[in-house]
Amino acid sequence: MAMPGRQDKPMTGRLSGLCPRFFGAWVRTVQRRRWLVLLAAALLTVLAVVACARLGISTNTVDMISPEVPFRQHAKAYNAAFPQLDNTIVAVVDAPTPEGADHLAAALAQRAVRMPSVREVYLPGGGMLRSHALLYLSQERLAALVKRLAEAEPLLATLSHSPNMQGLADILALAAERGADGEMAGLDRLLREMARTADVGPGAPAAALSWQSLLTPEGSEGVSRTRRFVVLHPKLDFTRLKPAAAAIAAVRTAANDLQADAGAGSRIRLTGEAVIEHQELETVEAGGSRAALLSLFAVSIILLTGFRAPRLAAASLVTLIAGLVWTAGLAAVTVGDLNLISVAFAVLFLGLGIDFCIHFALRYREERRAGTAAALEAAGRGVGCALLLSALCAALGFLSFLPTSYRGLAELGLISALGMFVAVVASLTVLPALLAIWQPRHGRAEPPRLVARERDFVARHGRKVLAVAAVAGLVGLMIAPTLNFDFNPMNLRDPETSSIITFNDLASDVQTSPYAVNVLADDPGAAERIAAEFRAAGGFGSVRTLDSFVPKTQDAKLRMLEDAAFFLAPILARPAEAPSLSPDARADAYRDLIAAASKLGEGEGEVAAAARELRASLLASGESPDLAAIETRWTAYLPDTLNFLTEALSAGPLTRADLPDDLRQRWIGVDGRARVEVRPSAAITGNGDIRRFAERAQSIDSAATGAPIVIQEASKAVVGAFKEATLYALLAIVLLLAVALGRVLDVVLTLAPLALAAVLTVATAALVGIPLNFANVIVLPLLMGLGVSSGIHLVLRARDVARIDEIFTTSTPRAVLLSVLTTLASFGTLMVSDHRGMSSMGALLTIAIAFTLLSVLVVLPCLLAQVKSPRMRGL
């Protein structure tokens, strides 16, 4: 029994003859040996599962570019010279006071030193640099600080011998006796800080008085900043999927404990390359797994709805899952580690691999309805060539990145290309074997009314559809060039993760921005010469070498410190152990404080207002305040400040040889090479800033490296790879179609929907603001393989019918529709990922597949109807 309008003649062109007979014989053999085929498939699945155990994930976006390109070579040389600067954990310590930040950072560093998972701990600004901190101030700021200390001499004299509540009471009493004419400098600030920190009641914020801030003049942030850093180099365990997991977990636990003990206003946040990649891997894992499960669910629903035959859908799903496992096993063998792009291969396979099952299954059901005796063999003979050609075209689209320097997409392309051939093999082995055993029912046929409606639409509106498509294509061509490329990999990561929030916070400050450039010099002398070139060029921020840590104009600064030490050293010399007040003595001092504050508050001016504020705060504490807690709030940091002043005022000259080893090792490598660090002159807030800074730095030294240059050069490599891959894919697919189809007209008809879908995809992305990036750049080369696949099935099926409207009575349109819908649903699930790279890939693929569906099922039939004539068929 033949279907209406069906032509029982063989296909013309190069696909006739041997190809259909081969696939018919292949499926016939599979049907006869179905149990052996399924046993072999099961064993192969087990082997693939074992191989998958070695499959890892690398989150380094730079590694997705070929290591042979120059900027990768520069970065490799720099990392080899300074390995301790690579893959670090950076703990950002913030506290309400400089002293609190110092204590918190020191405590974290002490704990980290004892962690087995941490290789090295570096506390910037500690040790000798702290004791010589005043030498790093400018002469103007140091002079202002010395003046402030001289004005605070009476205060320091009292507190150095009585660093407790009694000493504070004596200071206020002395100030009250002197009156307005003898006010101490900075007394108003002291009174206000005492008032602010006096509340120790339930729910009150834990706040301690910062003596360092009080004694520091305005503008001397170098001494009084409330942010500190602890840099940790973790021991990476590459036998685990997350090599830095143990170190990050240990540091985070210690940070949480210390932060809780420090109280409100203090926090420790983790960032750095190791933490960012760790959290990105967690995001990719969660998003990829969620997308794969949603994809499988969506595909299952579409198959059940579209097939209307549960056994047919079940056989297709089993085949699909087996093919996915085989592909994952091949990925483990051929690639080893997935990257942030190739990890999406599972979703790609689910969306594309099911297409082969759909076309075979629906062709099998069509043959059964037509009464064909050997339906499975006929299905293999009817669609085998089209499946192979579709797989070849899709594989060419995937493999187009292999010759380029974009290794990240090349690996995804290799895995996915292998997956296409796996899908063909599974569809022509596992699926026929399952169908031979289960023998699903015919299912319901196409509704006659729907078929008639489709025929009528093509006949009546075909030319209008083509006119609209042509106009849309021309408009799309005008809009497409406005599509942007976002080359910053930080924009691909989940902005809500703590490491990215902290990274962006640091990037907003020039002094802490991770967007620094580094140059590797042969020796310290060469480093100084390179630094001089950058300083002379202008337009940069700080330019540092190891010698930058040797204070400038030391002679003048040391004379200032000697003068200050002359009058301050005697009063800072205090007993080894500070006297501790008894409860009664503390109570007496408290009453004296209130009395002195009351007397000071009787006058006018800033001091009087501050004294009234202090008195009100003390009286608000009630009749029985916790005086020991109040005293602790006021004096906890005082001994540290006095010790710091004693050390800083007695500091001597500092030379390069005196610099601590942990600092030297960060600027002079073990092989003697030195580094130069160049910072931007303003905060980098966008891609334009990165590009300008990188290009300017490279104009001074072409071997410069660092985040801005790596990002900029990687973008150039990706854009170049994208252009190359698009050209390679187009040429390869056109050549393959020309050889396989054998007719110019069929090649044009197959590629026309692809061209329209590509133009509309790019234009839509530009209009809705979806830029190309490191992840979604694969969409257009991939679209060539995807778009041409559906066109192949329709064009080849059009050869078998007398009139184009008869194609709607076959299974091919439904197969194309279900294939595109499953692909659309599968790729769309990537959008639920929190990883912006995967999400943008899903969004752009969804747009591309939607336009492919429109082009293939609406535009292509109308185009076929216009050219389907005896004259055109001869082309």
Instruction: Give the pLDDT score at 800.
Output: 67
Instruction: Give the pLDDT score at 201.
Output: 63
Q: Residue 8 pLDDT more than 50?
A: no
The SS3 of residue 234 is strand
Same domain? For 214 and 317 the reply is: no
Evaluate whether residue 176 is within a structural domain: yes
Give pLDDT tens digits for 294-315. 877 887 888 888 777 888 888 9
Q: What is the CATH number of the domain that holds 325?
A: 1.20.1640.10
Please name which of 51, 59, 57 lies closest in space to residue 241, comparing C-alpha atoms. Answer: 57
Evaluate whether residue 533 is within a structural domain: no
Same domain? For 345 and 480 the reply is: yes
Evaluate whether residue 589 is within a structural domain: yes
Same domain? For 760 and 854 the reply is: yes
* Residue 173 lies in domain: 154-219+567-648
Same domain? For 379 and 458 the reply is: yes
Evaluate whether residue 548 is within a structural domain: no
Evaluate whether residue 95 is within a structural domain: no
Instruction: Give the pLDDT score at 685.
Output: 83
pTM passes above 0.75: yes
Same domain? For 285 and 209 the reply is: no
Check residues 276 and 872 and name the one with the higher pLDDT: 276
Evaluate whether residue 867 is within a structural domain: yes
Question: What's the alpha-carbon Rg for the chain, to the nearest Å?
Answer: 37
Strands 267-271 and 337-338: unpaired
Instruction: Give the pLDDT score at 841.
Output: 82
Domain final residue, candidates 619, 648, 677: 648
Same domain? For 305 and 174 the reply is: no
Domain final residue, candidates 620, 648, 676: 648
Name, in order, each residue with C-beta under 8 angstroms of 477's C-beta and a sequence gap of 6 or more: 759, 763
Evaluate whether residue 97 is within a structural domain: no
User: Average pLDDT of the chain?
Assistant: 82
Same domain? For 304 and 415 the reply is: yes
Give pLDDT tens digits for 89-125. 999 999 988 888 999 999 999 999 999 999 999 999 8
Same domain? For 176 and 283 the reply is: no
Number of domains in the chain: 2
Q: In this structure, what token pair is assigned to residue 595?
A: 């009395």
Strands 337-338 and 56-57: parallel
> What is the DSSP secondary structure assignment for residue 674, as one 8-state letter?
E
Please name which of 135, 136, 132, 113 lies closest in space to residue 123, comparing C-alpha atoms. Answer: 113
Same domain? For 321 and 450 the reply is: yes
Give pLDDT tens digits for 556-575. 999 999 988 888 888 877 65
Give pLDDT tens digits for 329-366. 888 888 877 766 677 677 778 777 888 888 888 888 88
Same domain? For 323 and 190 the reply is: no
Evaluate whether residue 202 is within a structural domain: yes
Beta-strand runs (E) in 215-361: 227-234, 267-271, 337-338
Q: Residue 385 pLDDT more than 90?
A: no
Cα-flanking dihedrals φ and ψ of residue 541, to 5°? -85, -135
Contact 530, 697 (CB under 8 A): no
Same domain? For 826 and 747 the reply is: yes
Instruction: Give the pLDDT score at 444.
Output: 52
Alpha-helical runs (H) found in 61-151: 70-81, 98-113, 128-131, 139-151
Name, in order, each residue with C-beta under 8 angstroms of 46's C-beta and a sequence gap of 6 or more: none
Same domain? For 573 and 465 the reply is: no
Domain final residue, candidates 594, 626, 648: 648
